[in-house]
Amino acid sequence: MAVVKTERLTKVYRSGEGIWDIDLEVHKGEIFGFLGSNGAGKTTTIRVLLGLLHPTSGRAQVLGTDPLENEGIATRREVGYLPGELALYERHTGATIVEFFARNMGGEMIYQEEVMEALSFPRKDLQRKVGEYSRGMKQKLGLIIALQHRPRILFVDEPTTGLDPLIQLQVYGLFRDYVGSGGTVFMSSHNLSEVERVCNRVAIIRKGKMVALEEVNNLASRRIYNVEFSLKEELSPDELQEMGLKDLIISQKIVKGKISGRPDPFFRELLQKGTIEDLQWERGRLEDLFLEYYRSGEGEGQ
């Protein structure tokens, strides 16, 4: 069952920026990643899906309904939302704020205890003013607000930006618990590792256009690694390229380049060619992954 569906969804601003021809489906019970660099169009897409922006053209449905139908009031009560830049009333207590939002979502707080437990958020901290909260506590409060009425779908925009690793793990665990209880998560992120860790499928957006829609497991075959090494035995550029090394640079016996997919086969073959004197490697940037899709003909317009 598709809980989110778009057909050629387009939103263009006066500046000329926006999103174009977004086609996607999000199924019940999955954590769906919406991956792209800052400014790629992730937040615009979410705001259109929430009925906060009118599309320029195309169609969107959330839970089988146009987000703008009847001003979107009925749909929004079935939806949870954590914005990328969370702004809360800092002079009020956490309890006052969660109760305020609960009233606006129909007065229900049926999932609050489970969310607080998953996030290790003590109930006594709700009595403190939000201005006293750390960044991580504010983010946790935002998730309590978004999930306490047990929505059918949760939209989260860059949910772990600026959070320490322990809190990130708690957030991922919460998403899995929520999906396990029948929910669905639509999560935007610019962090490739985060999406690989928590999502089932991912749509990749670049400059407002969809680049790809993939099972997360398939991303491993596209992963880019930057490698730098030196060998006692000299290898020709042709040999290195046949082994899968791209964007090759050789300077004073130091070799630099990129490999895609799992790095193990490349390193095994490299060891068979000679003795490695020095080796450094790291995962590539998100932009490197985009370029890999374009190289194989899956660029804009597909």
What Cα–Cα distance (Å) separates residue 50 from each residue in 53, 67, 80, 202, 297?
8, 6, 10, 19, 32
Dihedrals φ, ψ of 166, to 5°?
-65, -45
What is the per-residue pLDDT across 16-50, written as a single tens digit (0 to 9) for each? 999 999 999 999 999 999 999 889 999 999 999 99
User: The whole model's pTM is what?
Assistant: 0.84
Is residue 292 scored above 80 in pLDDT? no
**pLDDT classification of 294: cutoffs 50, 70, 90:** low
pLDDT at site 296: 58
Fold match flag (2-219 vs 224-283): no
Query: How far, in Å, CA of 65 to CA of 74, rounded?
Result: 9
Nearest-CA neighbor of 25 among 53, 39, 6, 46?
Answer: 6
Q: What is the mean pLDDT of the chain?
A: 89
Is residue 191 scored above 80 in pLDDT? yes
Is residue 289 scored above 60 in pLDDT? yes
Is residue 301 scored above 50 in pLDDT? no
Boundaries of every domain in the chain: 2-219, 224-283
Q: Which CATH number fits domain 2-219: 3.30.930.10, 3.30.70.260, 3.40.50.2020, 3.40.50.300?
A: 3.40.50.300
Rg (CA), the chain: 23
Q: Which CATH number fits domain 224-283: 2.60.40.790, 3.40.50.300, 3.30.70.260, 3.30.1330.30?
A: 3.30.70.260
pLDDT at site 17: 96
Tokens of 104: 């606006």
Least confident of 39-48, 150-159, 218-227, 240-249: 218-227
Is residue 1 scored above 80 in pLDDT? no
Is residue 98 scored above 70 in pLDDT? yes
Is residue 298 scored above 50 in pLDDT? no
What is the per-residue pLDDT across 120-156, written as a single tens digit (0 to 9) for each? 999 999 999 999 999 999 999 999 999 999 999 999 9
What is the per-residue pLDDT across 55-93, written as a single tens digit (0 to 9) for each? 999 999 999 999 988 766 667 789 999 999 899 999 999
Query: How far, in Å, CA of 143 to CA of 138, rounded?
Result: 9
Rounded to 5°, angle at Cα 133 from 131 and 136: 135
Mean pLDDT of all residues in 246-263: 88
- Cβ neighbours of residue 173 under 8 Å, at least 6 residues apart? 118
**pLDDT classification of 108: cutoffs 50, 70, 90:** confident
- Tell me the β-bridge partners of 9: 22
Query: How far, in Å, CA of 255 to CA of 54, rounded?
Result: 51
Contact 200/45 with Cβ under 8 angstroms? Answer: no
Per-position DSSP letters for 33-70, written without gaps between them: EEE--TTSSHHHHHHHHTTSS--SEEEEEETTB-TTGG
pLDDT at site 251: 87
